Amino acid sequence: MQHIIEGFLNFQKDIFPQRKELFRSLASSQNPKALFISCSDSRLVPELVTQQEPGQLFVIRNAGNIVPSFGPEPGGVSATIEYAVVALGVSDIVICGHSNCGAMKAIAAAQNLEPMPAVQHWLRYSDAAKAVVDKKTWANETDKVNAMVEENVIAQLNNIKTHPSVAVGLRNKSIRLHGWVYDIESGVIRTLDRESNTFISLAENPGAYFE
């Protein structure tokens, strides 16, 4: 914990004074253009990977970058999506999975999650991805996990379209959806291409998006 406190003290002493005008401009309002939904995994830091300043990304992080379908009792993810779209007017929504995802590994390996009932319940929102992956034969566990990561991004993109605010934005063409997979070791991001419905290099196809 001490190194975290020391990091804050360094920020307060050296970094904040250099960015004082930025933080002053953010003190009373925010105007992010994108909602970024990613895994809570400590190895994926959305602002670092996308090189965005404070105030530029509205971020949701949870185990498995999951978006529950909209229902009669919407939870925190649903409320945050609605706020981002309706109140903040974001124009892009990114759902970003990543390599070696622990949540997807647990699903792929049918890991016993009884000691973690909340996690077990939460990962049921990836059942659609699991069903697709389980219908195929995989050469090894790594390939299966990689497929789960990709299929889970697709499943969550389909889930987010059930949210009324997102459905309206898509209908009015005021929102675009993006599905990304970030590779931790190489730093490469692949994006879901709506034309081919496959994941392709974002660096080589910066204009590609899902919907």
Task: Please enumerate in sequence order all residues whose Cβ is within 8 A of that of 152, keeping only pairs 6 or more positions apart, or say none.
Answer: 64, 65, 66, 97, 101, 104, 126, 129
Comparing 73 with 199, the larger pLDDT belongs to 199
DSSP assignment, residue 35?
E
pLDDT digits (tens, 9 = 90+) for 100-146: 999 999 999 999 999 999 999 999 999 999 999 999 999 999 999 99
pLDDT value at residue 74: 83
Q: Which domains does the chain have, with CATH numbers?
A: 1-29 (no CATH), 31-201 (3.40.1050.10)
Q: What are the Cα distances from residue 207, in Å, to 59, 92, 195, 202?
A: 22, 12, 12, 8
How much of the chain exceeds pLDDT 70, in percent? 100
Average pLDDT along the chain:
97
Closest C-alpha to 105, from 67, 136, 63 = 63
How much of the chain, in percent, has pLDDT values that exceed 90? 98
- Asked if 65 and 159 touch (Cβ cutoff 8 Å), the reply is no
pLDDT, one tens digit per residue, over 60-89 is: 999 999 999 999 888 999 999 999 999 999
How does pLDDT run across 152-197, given as a tens digit for each residue?
A: 999 999 999 999 999 999 999 999 999 999 999 999 999 999 999 9
- Say if residues 189 and 202 touch (Cβ distance below 8 Å): yes
CA dist 183 and 177 (Å) reads 20
Q: What is the pLDDT of residues 48-57, one digit of tens each?
A: 999 999 999 9
**CA-to-CA separations, 103 to 37, 48, 106, 109, 146, in angstroms, rounded:** 15, 22, 5, 10, 12
Average pLDDT of span 16-36: 96
Q: Average pLDDT of 16-35?
A: 96
